[in-house]
A and B are shown apart, each in its own frame.
Chain A
Amino acid sequence: MGSAGLSRLHGLFAVYKPPGLKWKHLRDTVELQLLKGLNARKPPAPKQRVRFLLGPMEGSEEKELTLTATSVPSLVNHPLVCGPAFTHLKVGMGHRLDVRASGVLVLGVGHGCRLLTDMYNAHLTKDYTVRGLLGKATDDFCEDGRLVEKTTYDHVTREKLDRILAMIQGSHQKALVMYSNLDLKTQEAYEMAVRGLIRPMNKSPMLITGIRCLHFAPPEFLLEVQCMHETQKELRKLVHEIGLELKTTAVCSQVRRTRDGFFTLDSALLRTQWDLHNIQDAIRAAAPQVASELEKSLGPQLDTKELPSREWSWESQGPSFILVPEKGAGH
């Protein structure tokens, strides 16, 4: 069971990171739980070793000594002497979430760690729900930071907020096109831009492909943000800037990732499900989708049976834009 268990432990899966947990601790916890599951199999039968004992020969009258070979149990393979069978597993981490944020976090095990690089290079967008609180400003844009300023927010209405969000989306749209290194004068590029399918395939600052307000009940408001190349701190800063644009102040009380590429909340494993069995099932369930999405994102390959790799056979540099429509892309 152990080796069979290990062979099924290669691939990507998503967990739900709760707030207040460092990503490193999460990774270590998952590794520990997997090792626990793998080490739970039965220990092997005790080894025997041969010893030659000196003793009187049977059936002889004199005291003649002879060597007899006996097999005595050896403690060399005893589990209390060797320790557990598995002591280390390669568990890799996808796009990180900081301590206060929560949400979908992609992990890779064994050979799946290679796929993490592929996922990173696919430059897929991510979905967040961001909860903001009007009326105060803190130094680290979080609710429990050091208070810098307090303001009134009675003048803020839903329309004003929507207008600001539309402005933000527009400016980021421009940045999207710019960082995609796309010449908009061509017909194809124009059509793609019209359909909203452009995104940069190399490094860029945080780009928001879509933002809208889900719920507005002052002082609280809930935003849904679709972005790429972001950090959670930049999202909190975004909330702060929205507050400033509204001529008041705002802090961010929750940042929660609901989608990372093609992993959604439904497939994310909760803390109680971080064990060998559940993770193996999650890897198996996600495997076909992972393979197809990565293949689409990284471009056509000559050998479609293999998982896509970074090498490009027909261009020295990969294309800087991509034509693939994504699930839930923009509005």
Chain B
Amino acid sequence: MALSAQQIPRWFNSAKLRSLINAVQLTKCFARPGRTLLHGFSAQPQISSDNCFLQWGFKTYKTSSLWNSSQSTSSSSQENNSTQSSLLPSMNEQSQKTQKIPSFDSELFLEELDELPPLSPMQPISEEEAIQIIADPPLPPASFTLRDYVDHSETLQKLVLLGVDLSKIEKHTEAANLLLRLDFEKDIKQMLLFLKDVGIEDNQLGAFLTKNHAIFSEDLENLKIRVAYLLSKNFSKADVAQMVRKAPFLLNFSVERLDNRLGFFQKELELSVKKVKKRREFVYFYVCKFTFMLTANKRKLTETFDFVHNVMSIPHHIIVKFPQVFNTRLFKIKERHLFLTYLGRAQYDPAKPNYISLDKLVSIPDEIFCEEIAKASVQDFDKFLKTL
């Protein structure tokens, strides 16, 4: 490999991925003690890959000038290095770096580079070579936060610019390690293009990836199959996009699990026989509008349902019309219902006068609720709450 000392930095700049992988192999060769969380990430991508050589001091320097000397086919440089031992293999081949060089106590080279006799650090070098020694502080080999690596990893920088919250992802060590190893161009870009294909907008990608960082470990083929399944259930592309946006983990569910959940909701709402024919449209409408229910907590749902049906005495067919009651907190429904009962205005039967619909009960803010529905002031509502 015809490398000159000047070309070395550029070579490293271009071999990001290789250096990533090789670094892993490097660290495997080394017995590095005390490696904890984000391990295997010593001396990584692009610019600072030179650091790994400088970390080990003069040994690296020897290496770089070794390459220099390896260019010259003459053996004059060999003579310069004659002080070193001659355990090294021939320089013409790109051999595996498995042998140990005596003055090193660890492997140092990347695979493609030749083994060369080491130089003494006291040897004078030219200005040009001196200028090309990059001596940035080394990256920590292991860390609990991605902050240490963000300035040196293009992948992480691009993710931050997309809007992904790294501080949340670094809490999950597997996901963080995965992100450090992935290459933006190769792996992440495919995933992003797939997500854009599903229908998630650019500005929503960040939020989606923050919530569902595990999606990088999913197989792209499986994801495509699941999206195809949803589309086969007569949901339009826009609906699938909205579903995925509202419930990011939806794509992580296997097809059987998705099927089970849809079936569960059909049963829970006890659709009558007549509605069996309309079931498909209902589920379609329902799932699109209220995707949260597919991922909601079953116990809380049943508590809310129990209160709304038994205490407020609202029949099923009315509950079905307003599924958003299941998305509001139970205490809100309770407080407002009790206030209306106290005032004598709790009328939920559409046939009777002064009817109050369920969606008005739950979705409007407090001030408007007090003024228009309850026809009382907010202070009265507060006083009532303090008597509960």
Chain A residues with CB under 8 Å of chain B are 16, 18-21, 49, 52, 54, 64-67, 74-76, 78-84, 102, 256, 265, 268, 270-272
Contacts and interface: CB of A to CB of B under 8 A. Distances in A.
A16 B166 contact: no
B331 A20 contact: yes
Contacts of A79: 167
Contact of B166 (A64, A67, A81, A270): A81
Contacts of B150: 75-76, 78, 81
B12 to A, nearest CB: 12
Contacts of B388: 18-19, 102, 256
Given A16-B385, A270-B382, A83 B167 contact: yes
B132 A65 contact: yes
Contacts of A76: 147, 150-151
Contact of B147 (A19, A67, A81): A81
Contacts of B354: none
Contacts of B128: 64-65
Contact of B386 (A20, A52, A74, A268): A268
B9 interface: yes
Contacts of A256: 387-388
Contacts of B163: 80
Contact of B160 (A18, A52, A66, A81): A81
Contacts of B387: 256
A265 B147 contact: no
Nearest to B332: A271
B131 interface: yes
B160 A272 contact: no
B347 interface: no
A54 B385 contact: no
Contacts of B147: 76, 81-82
A260 B131 CA distance: 73
Contact of A80 (B132, B167, B382, B386): B167
| Category for how many chain B residues contact A | 20 to 34
A82 B334 CA distance: 39
Interface of B: 6, 9, 128, 131-132, 134, 146-147, 150-151, 156-157, 160, 163-168, 331, 334-335, 366, 382, 385-388
Contacts of A64: 128
Given A21-B331, A84-B167, 20 more contacts: A19-B388, A49-B151, A54-B131, A64-B128, A65-B128, A66-B131, A75-B151, A76-B151, A78-B150, A80-B160, A80-B163, A80-B167, A81-B147, A81-B167, A82-B147, A83-B168, A265-B386, A270-B382, A270-B386, A272-B366
Contacts of A18: 331, 335, 385, 388
Contacts of A84: 167
Contacts of B165: 80, 83
Nearest to A84: B167
Nearest to A266: B386
24 contacts: A16-B386, A18-B331, A18-B335, A18-B388, A19-B388, A20-B334, A49-B151, A54-B131, A54-B132, A75-B151, A75-B156, A76-B150, A76-B151, A78-B150, A78-B160, A81-B150, A81-B166, A81-B167, A82-B147, A83-B165, A102-B388, A265-B386, A270-B382, A272-B366
Contacts of B151: 49, 74-76
Contacts of A80: 160, 163-167
A153 B139 CA distance: 80
Contact of B157 (A21, A66, A75): A75
Contacts of A54: 9, 131-132
A28 to B, nearest CB: 15
A74 B366 CA distance: 44
Contacts of B146: 81
A71 to B, nearest CB: 13
A49 to B, nearest CB: 7
A256 B168 CA distance: 40
A269 B138 CA distance: 52
A268 to B, nearest CB: 7
A222 to B, nearest CB: 11
Top 10 A-B residue pairs of the complex, sorted by shortest distance between their CB atoms: A83-B167, A75-B150, A80-B165, A81-B166, A80-B160, A81-B150, A74-B151, A81-B147, A76-B147, A75-B160
A20 B9 CA distance: 65
A266 to B, nearest CB: 9
Contacts of A82: 147, 167
Contacts of B6: 65
A157 B150 CA distance: 77
A226 B104 CA distance: 81
B339 to A, nearest CB: 13
**Most B-side CB within 10 Å, residue of A16, A81, A256:** A81
A270 B385 contact: yes
Given A16-B385, A75-B151, A67 B366 contact: no
A54 B129 CA distance: 11
Nearest to A52: B134
A66 B128 CA distance: 8
A79 B157 CA distance: 13
B303 to A, nearest CB: 10
A102 B88 CA distance: 81
A306 B6 CA distance: 70
Contacts of B156: 75
Contacts of B335: 18
B125 to A, nearest CB: 14
Contacts of A49: 151
Contacts of A21: 331
A65 B386 CA distance: 76
A54 B156 CA distance: 24
Contacts of B164: 80
